[in-house]
């Protein structure tokens, strides 16, 4: 079954052709670990996870790399401002390492809660300084760099196709509004290495280089680390949609120059944002919710995952607690239906194979999780299928959804319901069946069911 994906580079939906048969290399821009990752970030990692699971489901061997930015990401994407990690360390009165280690740890815990498969490699920028210096040396030797008092810059005017990912019109840009570019030769030139002396105050993280003491620019880390783990040319690069214009454009410029491969990356995939009141959720605006805060409000992380799956990754998703509440209810209902399916019935192979094929066709069409989720609901409602068949299909689809559909959800029962259940237990002991029945009806009315099982009761939302 062909796997189609939308490639930002060509602006077309294409059939995926791997560089090496049966294998796929994926590089995803990862977190800048100076604060908690918010649920907007999490949407991007859920999208990455679906993408990866679809490849696995199609029998590919996947090598997935997510980088950890623990140096060099400045408060502005255009090489000005402070290093985000240094700023956080100063504010929290901690070392840069303590800051990045802590937020990376929390981030990994969040991914686990969201049932996101860990990447094969988690390279950290600070642990790949040599690779980044080597790459800058390569660019220097080829004549693409120049020095300013602030650092070493990439001369974008030397590339005919600079900005092809974003379809940038460099001529128009030159003719446009004059802005102060300081010592830079062109507006689009970007820093490969920044000198510590160009920053205010003493930095915690700095290294010696052939050009002076300093630290790498943000874009160079992704080129250096992706090539180290995936080769000088690889299949897929992913990231949030805001990376198209600057970060990924600059990654392409320096990598195609250094490695001499065109295209450096075959397929570029960009994920749409999670919005709140129509605006991108972002850390600089306070970040809104973290996963932990949603948990505190009684939501399960997998309900958030369910919500992410209801919208195609290329479409913006508007977040609100009301929408999450709806997703939580649908998710609970889905799990209840699946746990109630009888498993002993004889299965018809043809029914199963037909539905699996249909599912693959849907999800292989540019990772259409929302359509695939509707298909699962259709299957569960389909009278032509028996319970055993439905169960097998649901679990098969869940290899892609990652919603843990076969695991019992520990639901939080409100204290009011708990009291009713306890009272029902007491009257049942006294064999007052009439009263017990009345209490059961009361519990049902509040939206919960109660079943007597060996040694206790089983409570579910209905
Ligand atoms: P950062 O930690 O800011 O470098 O971001 C990590 C990843 O989260 C990047 O791939 C961003 O594109 C992505 N991201 C940031 N904000 C959002 C958002 N509101 N919705 C979806 N993805 C986001
Ligand atoms: Zn990156």
Domain CATH code at residue 129: 3.40.50.620
Q: Name which residue leads in pLDDT, 87 or 23.
A: 23
pLDDT single digits (tens) 369-387: 999 999 999 999 999 999 9
Is there a contact between 32 and 73 (Cβ–Cβ < 8 Å)? Answer: yes
Give the dihedral of Cα atoms 240, 244, 247, 251; nearest 10 deg. 120
Where does the pLDDT of residue 455 fall: very low under 50, low under 70, confident under 90, or very high at 90 and above? low
* Block residue for tokens 């040599």: 130
Is there a contact between 338 and 391 (Cβ–Cβ < 8 Å)? Answer: yes
Give the dihedral of Cα atoms 103, 107, 110, 112; nearest 10 deg. -130
302 domain residue, yes or no: no
In the predicted structure, residue 367 carries a pLDDT above the cut 70: yes
Closest atom of ligand 1 to CA, residue 275: 19
Mutate which of 32, 41, 269 for ligand 1 pocket (most atoms within 8 A of beta carbon): 41
Do 343 and 265 belong together in one domain?
A: no
Do 230 and 328 belong together in one domain?
A: no
Q: Which ligand is nearest to the Cα of residue 39, counting in written order? A: 1
CA–centroid distance, 164 to ligand 1, in Å, is 22
Mutate which of 29, 30, 44 for ligand 1 pocket (most atoms within 8 A of beta carbon): 44
CA–centroid distance, 445 to ligand 1, in Å, is 42
CATH of the domain at 330: 1.20.120.1910
User: CA–CA distance from 436 to each of 298, 455, 456 (Å)?
Assistant: 29, 17, 15
216 domain residue, yes or no: yes
Ramachandran assignment for 358, one of left (phi > 0), alpha (psi -120 to 50 degrees), beta (any other): alpha
CA–centroid distance, 247 to ligand 2, in Å, is 6
Read off the pLDDT of each residue in 320-343 and give the average, rounded to a whole number. 94
Dig out the tokens for 104 from the structure: 């990376």
34 domain residue, yes or no: yes
pLDDT single digits (tens) 171-206: 666 655 566 788 999 999 999 999 997 766 788 999
213 domain residue, yes or no: yes
In the predicted structure, residue 142 carries a pLDDT above the cut 80: yes
Q: How far is it, in rounded angstroms, from Cα 27 to Cα 231?
A: 11
Which residue, among 97, 92, 71, has the nearest Cα to 82 in the 3D structure?
A: 71
Do 213 and 75 belong together in one domain?
A: yes
314 domain residue, yes or no: no
Do 194 and 79 belong together in one domain?
A: yes
288 domain residue, yes or no: no
Which residue, among 253, 264, 221, has the nearest Cα to 156 in the 3D structure?
A: 253
Read off the pLDDT of each residue in 50-62 and give the average, rounded to a whole number. 98
In the predicted structure, residue 52 carries a pLDDT above the cut 90: yes
How many Cβ atoms are within 10 Å of 443's Cβ, its own excluded? 22
Closest atom of ligand 1 to CA, residue 242: 12
**What average pLDDT does the chain have?**
93
11 domain residue, yes or no: yes
Question: What's the pLDDT at 411?
Answer: 64
* Block residue for tokens 């994407």: 77
pLDDT single digits (tens) 427-442: 998 999 999 999 999 9
Where does the pLDDT of residue 410 fall: very low under 50, low under 70, confident under 90, or very high at 90 and above? low
In the predicted structure, residue 310 carries a pLDDT above the cut 80: yes
Do 17 and 82 belong together in one domain?
A: yes
Is there a contact between 96 and 103 (Cβ–Cβ < 8 Å)? Answer: no
Is there a contact between 335 and 70 (Cβ–Cβ < 8 Å)? Answer: no
Do 231 and 359 belong together in one domain?
A: no
Read off the pLDDT of each residue in 156-182 and give the average, rounded to a whole number. 80
Domain end marker among 219, 249, 275: 275
Do 138 and 181 belong together in one domain?
A: yes
Question: What's the pLDDT at 119?
Answer: 98
Question: What's the pLDDT at 179?
Answer: 67
Ramachandran assignment for 108, one of left (phi > 0), alpha (psi -120 to 50 degrees), beta (any other): alpha
Where does the pLDDT of residue 284 fall: very low under 50, low under 70, confident under 90, or very high at 90 and above? confident
301 domain residue, yes or no: no
* Block residue for tokens 């690889």: 234
pLDDT single digits (tens) 61-119: 999 999 999 988 887 766 778 888 989 999 999 999 999 999 999 999 999 999 999 99
Is there a contact between 67 and 225 (Cβ–Cβ < 8 Å)? Answer: yes
Q: Please report, for the chain, how many H helices and E strands are present, in that order.
A: 15, 15
Which residue, among 103, 51, 156, has the nearest Cα to 369 in the 3D structure?
A: 51
Question: What's the pLDDT at 402?
Answer: 98
Q: Where are the alpha helices (DSSP H) in 300-432?
A: 301-309, 321-339, 349-363, 369-381, 387-401, 415-429
Do 195 and 342 belong together in one domain?
A: no
In the predicted structure, residue 328 carries a pLDDT above the cut 90: yes
Domain end marker among 240, 256, 275: 275
pLDDT single digits (tens) 237-278: 999 999 999 999 999 999 999 999 999 999 999 999 999 999
CB of 273 within 6 A of ligand 1: the answer is yes
Q: What is the pTM of this model?
A: 0.89
Name the phi and psi angles at 78, rounded to 5: -105, 50
The count of C-alpha atoms lying within 13 angstroms of the C-alpha of 458, restricted to the half-sphere facing its C-beta, is 10
Is there a contact between 187 and 173 (Cβ–Cβ < 8 Å)? Answer: yes
Do 109 and 195 belong together in one domain?
A: yes
The count of C-alpha atoms lying within 13 angstroms of the C-alpha of 455, restricted to the half-sphere facing its C-beta, is 0
Q: Name which residue leads in pLDDT, 210 or 282.
A: 210
Read off the pLDDT of each residue in 294-320 and give the average, rounded to a whole number. 96
Do 370 and 439 belong together in one domain?
A: no
Question: What's the pLDDT at 133?
Answer: 98
Do 370 and 225 belong together in one domain?
A: no
Read off the pLDDT of each residue in 9-13 and give the average, rounded to a whole number. 97
Closest atom of ligand 1 to CA, residue 241: 12
Do 325 and 186 belong together in one domain?
A: no
Sheet holding 317-319, edge to edge: 279-280, 274-276, 317-319
Q: Indicate which residue's Cα is closest to atom 14 of ligand 1.
A: 41
Read off the pLDDT of each residue in 339-368 and give the average, rounded to a whole number. 95
Which residue, among 308, 240, 246, has the nearest Cα to 268 in the 3D structure?
A: 240
Domain carrying residue 25: 4-275
Domain end marker among 275, 301, 330: 275
Q: Indicate which residue's Cα is closest to atom 8 of ligand 1.
A: 41
Helix, strand, or coil (residue 258): helix
Closest atom of ligand 1 to CA, residue 280: 19
Question: What's the pLDDT at 276?
Answer: 93
Overall domain count for the chain: 3
Q: How far is it, in rounded angstroms, from Cα 331 to Cα 340?
A: 14
Q: How far is it, in rounded angstroms, from Cα 306 to Cα 300?
A: 10
* Block residue for tokens 């299957």: 379
343 CB-near residues (< 8 Å, 6+ apart): 387, 388, 391
CA–centroid distance, 68 to ligand 2, in Å, is 9
């Amino acid at each position: 079954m062909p796997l189609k994906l939308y490639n930002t580079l060509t602006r077309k939906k294409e059939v995926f052709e791997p560089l090496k048969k049966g294998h796929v290399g994926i590089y995803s821009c990862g977190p800048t670990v100076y604060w908690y990752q918010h649920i907007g970030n999490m949407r991007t990692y859920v999208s990455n996870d679906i993408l990866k699971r679809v490849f696995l489901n199609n029998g590919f061997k996947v090598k997935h790399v997510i980088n950890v930015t623990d140096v060099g990401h400045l408060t502005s994407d255009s090489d000005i401002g402070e290093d985000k990690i240094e700023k956080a360390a100063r504010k929290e009165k901690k070392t840069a390492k303590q800051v990045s280690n802590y937020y990376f740890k929390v981030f990994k815990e969040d991914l686990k809660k969201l049932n996101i498969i860990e990447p094969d490699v988690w390279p950290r920028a600070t642990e790949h300084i040599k690779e980044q210096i080597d790459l800058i040396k390569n660019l220097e030797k080829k004549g693409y760099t120049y020095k300013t008092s602030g650092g070493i810059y990439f001369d974008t005017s030397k590339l005919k196709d600079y900005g092809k990912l974003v379809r940038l019109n460099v001529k128009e840009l030159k003719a446009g509004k004059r802005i102060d570019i300081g010592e830079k030769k062109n507006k689009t030139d970007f820093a490969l290495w920044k000198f510590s002396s160009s920053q205010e105050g003493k930095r915690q993280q700095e290294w010696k280089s052939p050009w002076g003491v300093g630290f790498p620019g943000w874009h160079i880390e992704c080129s250096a680390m992706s090539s180290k783990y995936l080769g000088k040319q690889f299949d897929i690069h992913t990231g949030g949609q805001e990376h198209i214009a600057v970060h990924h454009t600059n990654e392409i410029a320096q990598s195609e120059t250094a490695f001499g491969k065109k295209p450096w990356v075959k397929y570029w995939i960009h994920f749409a944002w999670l919005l709140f009141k129509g605006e991108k959720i972002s850390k600089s605006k306070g970040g809104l919710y973290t996963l932990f805060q949603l948990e505190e409000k009684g939501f399960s992380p997998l309900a958030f995952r369910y919500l992410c799956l209801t919208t195609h990754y290329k479409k913006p998703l508007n977040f609100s607690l009301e929408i999450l509440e709806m997703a939580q209810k649908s998710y609970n209902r889905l799990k209840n239906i699946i746990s109630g399916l009888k498993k002993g019935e004889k299965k018809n192979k043809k029914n199963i194979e037909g539905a699996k094929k249909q599912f693959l066709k849907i999800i292989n069409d540019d990772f259409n999780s929302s359509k695939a989720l509707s298909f699962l609901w259709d299957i569960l409602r389909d009278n032509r299928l028996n319970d055993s068949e439905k169960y097998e299909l649901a679990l098969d689809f869940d290899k892609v959804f990652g919603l843990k559909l076969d695991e019992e959800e520990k639901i939080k029962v409100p204290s009011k319901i708990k009291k009713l259940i306890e009272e029902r237990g007491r009257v049942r002991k006294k064999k007052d069946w009439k009263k017990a029945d009345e209490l059961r009806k009361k519990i049902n009315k509040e939206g919960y069911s109660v079943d007597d099982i060996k040694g206790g009761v089983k409570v579910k939302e209905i």
